[in-house]
Each structure stands twice: as C-alpha cells, then as structure tokens.
C-alpha cells in the first residue's frame, strides 16, 4: 500500500513537470509566424475602443491600419462576430480580451489558435485565404464565443 502511494506521487510530479515544460515551450513560440500559429499571448493591457469597432458597425470591413483587423472578447462574446477581409492577401487580426479570464482564439478552418490572457491582446497572422466563409471560436467558451471571417 505504501509503495502505491509513493508511485502515485512520482507519477503526479512527472505529470506536473511535463505540463509545465509544454507551457514554456508554447510560450517560446509566441512571436512565430508559422503555418500553425499556436502560442500564448504576452500580457499587454487592452487598448480602448477603436473607431472601427462600434455598436453601429457589427461587421468590420475597415481595417485599423492597412491589413490589420480588430476583434474584442467581452463577456465571452466576439465583437464584431463577423469580419470581411480581402481574399488572397495576408492580414493580421488583433484580438483584445476584455474579460479577466483567458480565452483561446481558434479556427479549424484557417488553422490558427492562440491563448489570450485576461485583460490583454494578441496578434494573429492569417492568410492568404481563398474566397469563402471561415469559422472562428473561443475554445474555452464554445457556447458563446463564435464568429465568421469572410474572405472576399
């Protein structure tokens, strides 16, 4: 019996070390511009509302600057929940997480995922994309955090 308890403690400690190593490895890739951009966002304070992100403009067609689009996460909901981007061109999505809890921005359609700490932001490099409709979602809040990107 005593031997089983010791083995369980050893296995638990090994699991903790493996998970911690994986988190550090993901964090190191934070600024990678790879085909599958998987990383943990650096903690940066979320900026104020931009001119292109208003309640009157739920679908964002304008960029904050050339090739840069913004999304906000508030109460586990993306605003806007639809983005229109040019097909065939590379672009960036800056995601501001205004919630105190982390969220994972993810899209199986355009193969991106990034964990964004609470009250911070992350930049996600995307494209070029073929014309079409692409789903994105918040992995930690699948029931609420959903949106679509339209490449036109």
Looking at the domain assignment, is residue 31 inside a domain? no
**Both tokens assigned to 36:** 């599958």
Which of 14-23, 63-72, 74-83 has maximum average pLDDT? 74-83
Looking at the domain assignment, is residue 74 inside a domain? yes
Q: Please list, in sequence order, all residues whose beta carbon lies within 8 angstroms of the beta carbon of residue 1, skipping any fewer than 6 positions away.
A: none
**Which pLDDT does position 78 carry in this prediction?**
94
Looking at the domain assignment, is residue 21 inside a domain? no
Looking at the domain assignment, is residue 20 inside a domain? no
The pTM of the full predicted model, rounded to 2 decimals, is: 0.60
Looking at the domain assignment, is residue 77 inside a domain? yes
Query: Which CATH number characterizes residue 112's domain?
Result: 2.60.40.420
Question: pLDDT: is 66 or 29 the higher one?
Answer: 66
Looking at the domain assignment, is residue 24 inside a domain? no
Question: What is the number of domains present in the chain?
Answer: 1
Decide: 148 and 82 in contact? Cβ < 8 Å.
yes
Looking at the domain assignment, is residue 147 inside a domain? yes
Q: What is the mean pLDDT of residues 29-46?
A: 43
Looking at the domain assignment, is residue 70 inside a domain? yes
For residue 132, give its domain range: 37-151
């Amino acid at each position: 019996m005593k031997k089983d308890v010791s083995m369980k403690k050893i296995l638990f400690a090994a699991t903790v070390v493996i998970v911690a190593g994986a988190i550090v490895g993901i964090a190191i890739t934070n600024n990678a511009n790879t085909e599958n951009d998987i990383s943990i966002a650096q903690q940066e304070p979320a900026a104020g509302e931009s001119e292109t992100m208003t309640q009157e403009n739920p679908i964002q067609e304008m960029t904050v600057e050339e090739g840069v689009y913004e999304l906000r996460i508030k109460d586990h909901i993306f605003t806007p929940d639809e983005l229109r981007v040019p097909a065939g061109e590379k672009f960036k999505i800056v995601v501001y997480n205004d919630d105190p809890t982390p969220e994972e921005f993810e899209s199986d359609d355009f193969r991106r995922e990034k964990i964004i700490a609470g009250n911070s932001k992350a930049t996600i490099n995307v494209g070029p994309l073929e014309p079409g409709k692409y789903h994105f979602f918040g992995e930690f809040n699948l029931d609420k955090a959903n949106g679509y990107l339209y490449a036109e």
